[in-house]
């Protein structure tokens, strides 16, 4: 309030705040339950109706690009709310399809994706394993059967008989010519006969020329016939093999058809499966010999166990089924949502591979090899047909993950690739699997900064994430909301598995809630911090053998939390109480004031007073901000200094040039200074110096000032008050000490009990101020003064003294300039 009374009547002082205004007036009497266990559970999300509606819309709307971004501060229960709403929505949805990859027999590097009804993927996989296991026993049995051996022996015998008959006839003709056909290790040889004996070279030379000629002719003719017989042998052998192969195919076909019929019948309504079984049938018949390879180390068939596809012999992996998603609790899906409804998947590590899947490799003989059974699903596969919840910051931190997520949402399909392939870092045979159609709702959870940065710099973001679910940080603290808040606290206690709360404990928690919100008219919705307090209070209740959490337990938990984070605060305050850092809490000084600031280091937040001083003299209208000149002052602090400079220039001696030189500094401040909460203190220090009016050092002040002299609200008011109070309490409370705060900050007060008790006992004061005049009246013990009809401030008022001083500076400056210009060689 501004003082308009005559200064002789004394200043009209702002009145100290009553203790009831220093904290939200909530007590145990406001609640009519014995403990929170008697209350109905909190089935809604208190204070988050707007965000909940947005999340529900994302869950219900069918259009694929209405994905949601849930933004809010950590601790607001973002993931808990999203998880609960999506789980409820998922229950009403049908189970999505299963997906498997199978071998592409025409192009093995391009595995085929097959969609199956929910619950059929594992069934199909087991059916194929059973089929191959069956054939591993049946095909060898078929080829060892008496029927096969008889037919095979008949073919072999027929071939042998035909060959032997030709050779026998050839032998007979040769003997008739007097020639013998002899078998040697190198093949056949033809030699002449004489007297029934094979001619030796000596006997051959002993023959007459006619006989030699006859023998030679017979040998040549026989050799020609032998060559013709031997020449026809490969064709007969090929014909023989063809007949054997035809027999093998016939026998294998019978065995494969008998075994595959059961699988085909089980999946007769699934055209893609039937088409794949046709290709499997053809390949099995063509490669039936694979089942005849003996492996003594393999027992129980090619697929011996429930996870046999990992242990199958390599030659049989081509017939396996790689289950990507199975919604029956037996596949790769989230088991919690496999049996009913759509899946709700939360991926805590959204790397590229964990998001879109990956292709694994194995090392064989120094080379990397892979096949379709080494394709692994990602979170998008598991969430297909349901919901995928991701932390926005985690996605953005992982290389390629954000780009891959957007591509999948934009194209509506999941394509698997690796960073190595994309960057051409590896040169090995890889796979190009069929993309799987994607129909899922993605919910990103992040802070507001992440949302606004993406909205500003990523043009795809607004098209893919059309829904914004902005969670409130607090809610009104009206009486009609207290019962609902009590139910929420009871639900937090129930979910944490701790004791219920007594009404006094609820009241104490609500008071702390307003402090966490920084506003006595608001309750915080930081449920994580509230849950931490309740669980710690439960610990102290356990030590005190309480059946329910009491107000004393809550107070103990809060006090212990403050104590654990108070080392730096204690060191800072100790430096003041030991007078290492100079702060006065009594007496009066010209141009010196106690300004209040808040320090936040990690989890520790505390207030501390700082000595702010001002010095003035005649000058050219320059106001030196020492903090800014030394580059320790931030831009907001510099703005505050310029504002108070404008206030001085427009409020005093407006008909004379500003002839002031002034300096402002935070004494013993060696770190950065920012914010405008000290601008009121800086203005008052300047006014004190100009008016030569001492400032009562029993007070500290916080608040920003505008160019009209109005005091504006600032942040951290509770910590600032407590910081000065603790210094005064350490030195001894006198009853004169107190803190001046902006009147606009009264609604933010949620002070600790030690301060409230001191105010109640009249040992400490907290005074609201609306203008600089209010602060002048308290700190300088005199009226600020208001200009009268004659345009002058009342004589003796602080403002009149300031104006008189500034006019004196202007006159002195004018005289100095005149004297300088009149002297020989002088310049104006």
CATH 3.30.230.10 domain position(s) in the chain: 570-814
Strands 660-666 and 699-701: unpaired
Round to whole Å and give the CA distance between 234 and 408.
Answer: 59
Identify whether 418 is a catalytic site residue: no
Give 70's DSSP letter: E
* Mean pLDDT estimate for the chain: 84
Evaluate if residue 1 carries a pLDDT over 70.
no
Mean pLDDT of 477-505: 91
State how far the alpha carbon of 777 is from the alpha carbons of 696, 756, 767, in Å: 11, 24, 12
- When mean pLDDT is compared across 306-310, 408-412, 511-515, 546-550, the lowest value belongs to 306-310
β-sheet bridge partners, residue 99: 115, 325
What percentage of the chain exceeds 70 in pLDDT?
90
Angle at 281 between CA 275 and CA 285, to 5 degrees: 155
> Left, alpha or beta for 432 (phi > 0: left; psi -120 to 50: alpha)?
beta
Mean pLDDT of 92-119: 93
Strands 622-625 and 660-666: parallel
Report the distance separating Cα 419 and Cα 812, nearest Å: 77
Question: Is the pLDDT at 325 greater than 90, yes or no?
Answer: yes
Query: How confident is the model at residue 305, as a pLDDT?
Result: 42
Look at 222 and 593; give whichever has higher pLDDT: 593
Structure tokens belonging to residue 72: 């809010």
At residue 678, the pLDDT reads 83
What is the helix, strand, coil percentage profile of the chain, to 5?
Answer: 50, 15, 35
Asked if the model's pLDDT at residue 248 lies above 70, the reply is yes
CATH 3.40.50.2000 fits 31-47+472-564, yes or no: no
pLDDT at 751: 93
What tokens appear for 749 in the block? 């007060």
Q: How far is Cα 780 from Cα 688, in angstroms, rounded to an integer?
A: 8
pLDDT computed for residue 4 by the predictor: 40
User: How does DSSP assign 457-502, residue by residue?
Assistant: H-TTHHHHB-EEEE--SEEE--HHHHHHHHHHHHHHHHHHT---B-
Q: Is the pLDDT of residue 113 over 70?
A: yes
DSSP letter for each residue of 268-283 = TT-HHHHHHHHHHHHH
Whole-angstrom distance, CA of residue 178 vs CA of residue 197: 10
Q: How far apart are CA 718 and CA 304, in angstroms?
A: 70
Of the two residues 188 and 87, the one the predictor is more confident about is: 87
Instruction: Tell me the residue ranges of DSSP E strands in 631-710.
Output: 660-666, 694-696, 699-701, 704-705
Which pLDDT belongs to residue 828? 52
Where does the pLDDT of residue 295 fall: very low under 50, low under 70, confident under 90, or very high at 90 and above? low
Using pLDDT thresholds of 50, 70 and 90, give the confidence band for residue 308: very low
**Element holding 413 (H helix, E strand):** strand 413-414
**Are the C-beta atoms of 346 and 387 separated by less than 8 Å?**
no
Place of tokens 């010095």: 615
Structure tokens at 574: 């100790």
Q: Is 354 helix (H, G, I), strand (E, B) or coil?
A: helix
Mean pLDDT of 305-323: 67
For the segment 534-550, the average pLDDT, to the nearest whole number, is 93
What stretch of H or E contains 436?
A: strand 436-437
Whether the per-residue pLDDT at 687 is higher than 70: the answer is yes
Catalytic one of 76, 597, 659, 677:
677
Predicted pLDDT at 133: 86
For the question of residue 677 being annotated catalytic, the response is yes
Asked if pLDDT for residue 556 goes beyond 80, the answer is: yes
Among candidate residues 720, 773, 783, 797, the one labeled active-site is 720
Residue with tokens 């090619």: 302
Task: Say whether pLDDT at 145 is over 80.
Answer: no
Structure-block tokens of residue 395: 């996605």
- Poorest-pLDDT segment among 492-496, 623-627, 743-747: 623-627
The Cβ-side half-sphere exposure at 358, using a 13 Å CA radius, reads 12
CB contact at 8 A, 768 and 654: no
- The pLDDT of residue 821 is above 90: no
Angle (CA) 545 550 556, round 5°: 90
Q: Is the pLDDT of residue 423 over 80?
A: no
Cα dist from 804 to 59, 810, 814, whole Å:
71, 10, 15
Burial class (CB in 10 A: 0-12, 13-18, 19+), 204: middle
Tell me, what's the pLDDT at 754?
94
Q: In whole angstroms, give the CA distance from residue 768 to residue 765.
A: 10
SS3 assignment, position 689: helix
Q: Residue 241 contacts by C-beta under 8 Å, 6 or more apart in sequence?
A: none
Q: Quickly count: other Cβ atoms within 10 Å of residue 521's Cβ.
A: 13
Could you tell me where the beta strands, DSSP code E, fall in 519-591? Answer: 522-524, 588-590
What would the mean pLDDT of 104-120 be, rounded to a whole number? 92
**Distance between CA 583 and CA 358 in Å, rounded?**
64
> 């005649």: which residue's tokens?
618
DSSP 296: T
Cα–Cα dist 54/342, whole Å: 20
Cα gap 36→494, rounded to integer Å? 9
**Closest to 740 (Cα-Cα) out of 703, 789, 777:** 703
Which residue bears the tokens 């509506």? 412
Minimum mean pLDDT range among 196-200, 459-463, 585-589:
196-200
Instruction: Give CA–CA dist 495/727, Å, rounded.
Output: 41
* Residue 385 φ/ψ region, left for φ over 0, alpha for ψ in the -120 to 50 degree band, beta for the rest: left
User: Given this model, what pLDDT does residue 202 score?
Assistant: 73
Q: Where does CATH 1.10.8.60 sit in the chain?
A: 31-47+472-564
**Who has greater pLDDT, 347 or 240?**
347
Closest CA to 442 of 405, 471, 476: 405
Higher-confidence residue of 782 and 182: namely 782
- Number of neighbours of residue 278 by Cβ within 10 angstroms: 12
Residues making up the chain, counted from first to last:
828
Judged on CB neighbours under 10 Å (0-12, 13-18, 19+), 780 is: buried
Q: CB-hemisphere CA count at 13 Å for 258?
A: 12
Q: How confident is the model at residue 187 (pLDDT cuts 50, 70, 90)?
A: confident
Average pLDDT on 442-468 reads 94
| Lookup result for tokens 């909940």 | 52
pLDDT in tens, 633-645: 667 667 767 777 7
Over range 423-445, report the average pLDDT: 85
- What integer is the mean pLDDT of 686-705? 93
The pairing of strands 604-618 and 660-666 is: antiparallel
Angstrom CA distances, 457 to 67, 124, 391, 399, 449, stand at 18, 46, 19, 18, 12
In CATH terms, is domain 570-814 a member of 3.30.1360.70? no
DSSP output for 739-803: EEEEGGGGGG----HHHHHHHHTTSSEEEEESBHHHHHHHHHSS------TTS-PPTTSHHHHHH
Q: Give 59's pLDDT tier (boundaries 50, 70, 90).
A: very high
Letter string b/e over residues 490-513, b meaning 16 or more CB atoms within 10 A of that residue's CB: bbbbeeeebbbbbbbbbbbbbbbb
* Reduced 3-state DSSP string for 445-468: EECHHHHHHHHHHCCCHHHHECEE
Q: Give me the residues paired with residue 29 across strands.
A: none
Query: Phi/psi at 330 (nearest 5 deg)?
Result: -120, 0
Contact 64, 516 (CB under 8 A): no
Average pLDDT over residues 240-260: 79
Ranges of beta strands (E only) in 10-131 are: 68-71, 98-102, 112-116
Structure confidence at residue 239 (pLDDT) = 75
Q: Token digits for 174?
A: 């040769």
Give 566-617 pLDDT, tens digit per residue: 888 889 899 999 999 999 999 999 999 999 998 888 778 899 899 999 898 8
């Amino acid at each position: 309030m501004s003082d308009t009374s005559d200064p002789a009547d004394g200043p009209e002082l702002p009145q100290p705040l009553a203790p009831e205004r220093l904290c939200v007036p909530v007590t145990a009497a406001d609640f009519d339950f014995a403990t929170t266990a008697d209350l109905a559970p909190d089935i809604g999300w208190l204070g988050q109706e707007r965000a909940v509606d947005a999340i529900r819309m994302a869950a219900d709307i069918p259009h694929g690009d209405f994905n949601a971004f849930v933004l809010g501060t950590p601790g607001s229960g973002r993931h808990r709310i999203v998880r609960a709403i999506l789980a409820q929505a998922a229950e009403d949805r049908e189970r999505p399809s299963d997906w498997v990859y199978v071998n592409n027999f025409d192009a093995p590097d391009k595995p085929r994706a097959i969609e199956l009804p929910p619950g059929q993927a594992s069934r199909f996989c087991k059916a194929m394993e059973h089929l191959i296991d069956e054939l591993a026993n049946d095909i060898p049995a078929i080829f060892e059967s008496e029927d096969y051996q008889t037919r095979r022996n008949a073919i072999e015998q027929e071939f042998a008989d035909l060959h032997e008959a030709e050779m026998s006839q050839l032998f007979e003709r040769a003997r008739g010519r007097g020639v013998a056909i002899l078998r040697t290790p190198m093949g056949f040889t033809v030699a002449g006969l004489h007297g029934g004996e094979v001619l030796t070279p000596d006997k051959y030379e002993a023959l007459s020329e006619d006989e030699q000629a006859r023998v030679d002719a017979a040998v040549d003719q026989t050799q020609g016939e032998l060559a013709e017989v031997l020449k026809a042998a490969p064709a007969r052998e090929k014909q023989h093999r063809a007949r054997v192969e035809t027999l093998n195919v016939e026998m294998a076909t019978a065995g494969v058809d008998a075994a595959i019929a059961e699988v085909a019948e089980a999946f007769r309504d699934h055209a893609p499966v039937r088409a794949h079984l046709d290709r499997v049938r053809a390949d099995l018949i063509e490669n039936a010999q694979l089942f005849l390879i003996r492996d003594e180390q393999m027992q129980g068939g090619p697929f011996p166990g429930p996870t046999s596809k990992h242990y199958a012999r390599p030659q049989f992996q081509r017939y396996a089924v790689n289950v990507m998603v199975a919604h029956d609790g037996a596949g790769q899906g989230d088991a919690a949502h496999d049996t009913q409804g759509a899946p709700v998947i939360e991926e805590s590590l959204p790397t590229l591979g964990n998001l879109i899947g990956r292709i694994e490799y194995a090392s064989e003989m120094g080379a990397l090899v892979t096949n379709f059974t080494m394709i692994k699903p990602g979170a998008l596969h598991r969430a297909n047909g349901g919901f995928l919840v991701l932390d926005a910051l985690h996605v953005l931190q992982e290389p390629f993950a954000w780009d891959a997520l957007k591509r999948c949402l934009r194209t509506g399909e999941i394509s698997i690739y690796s960073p190595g392939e994309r960057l051409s870092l590896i040169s090995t045979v890889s796979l190009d699997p069929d993309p799987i159609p994607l129909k899922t709702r993605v919910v990103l959870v992040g802070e507001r900064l992440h949302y606004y940065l993406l909205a500003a710099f990523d043009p795809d973001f607004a098209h893919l994430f059309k829904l914004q679910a902005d969670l409130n940080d607090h809610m009104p603290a009206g009486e009609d909301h207290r019962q609902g808040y009590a139910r929420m606290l009871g639900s937090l206690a129930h979910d944490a598995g701790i004791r219920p709360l007594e009404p006094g404990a609820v009241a104490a928690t609500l008071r702390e809630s307003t402090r966490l919100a920084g506003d006595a008219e608001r309750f915080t919705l930081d449920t994580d911090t509230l849950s931490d307090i309740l669980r710690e209070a439960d610990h102290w209740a356990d030590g005190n053998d309480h059946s329910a959490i009491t107000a004393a337990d809550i107070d103990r938990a809060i006090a212990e939390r403050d104590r654990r984070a108070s080392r730096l605060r204690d060191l800072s305050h100790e430096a003041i109480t030991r007078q290492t850092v100079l702060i006065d809490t009594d007496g009066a000084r010209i141009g010196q004031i106690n300004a209040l600031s808040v320090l936040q280091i990690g989890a520790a937040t505390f207030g501390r007073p700082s000595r702010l001083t001002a010095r003035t003299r005649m000058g050219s209208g320059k106001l030196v901000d020492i903090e800014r000149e030394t580059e320790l002052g931030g831009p907001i602090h510099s703005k505050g200094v310029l504002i108070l400079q404008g206030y001085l220039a427009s409020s005093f001696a407006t008909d004379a040039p500003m002839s002031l030189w002034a300096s402002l500094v935070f004494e013993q401040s060696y770190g950065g200074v920012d914010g405008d909460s000290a601008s009121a203190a800086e203005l008052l220090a300047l006014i004190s110096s100009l008016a030569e009016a001492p400032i009562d050092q029993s007070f500290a002040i916080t608040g920003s000032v505008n160019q009209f002299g109005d005091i504006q609200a600032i942040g951290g008011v509770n910590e600032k008050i407590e910081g000065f109070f603790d210094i005064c309490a350490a030195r001894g409370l006198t009853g004169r000490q107190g803190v001046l705060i902006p009147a606009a900050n009264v609604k933010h007060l949620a002070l600790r009990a030690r301060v409230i008790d001191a105010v109640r006992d009249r040992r400490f004061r907290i005074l609201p101020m609306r203008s600089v005049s209010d602060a002048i009246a308290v700190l300088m013990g005199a009226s600020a003064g208001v200009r009268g009809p004659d345009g002058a401030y009342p004589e003796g008022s602080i403002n009149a003294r300031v104006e008189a001083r500034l006019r004196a500076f202007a006159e002195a400056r004018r005289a100095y300039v005149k004297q300088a210009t009149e002297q020989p060689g002088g310049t104006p």
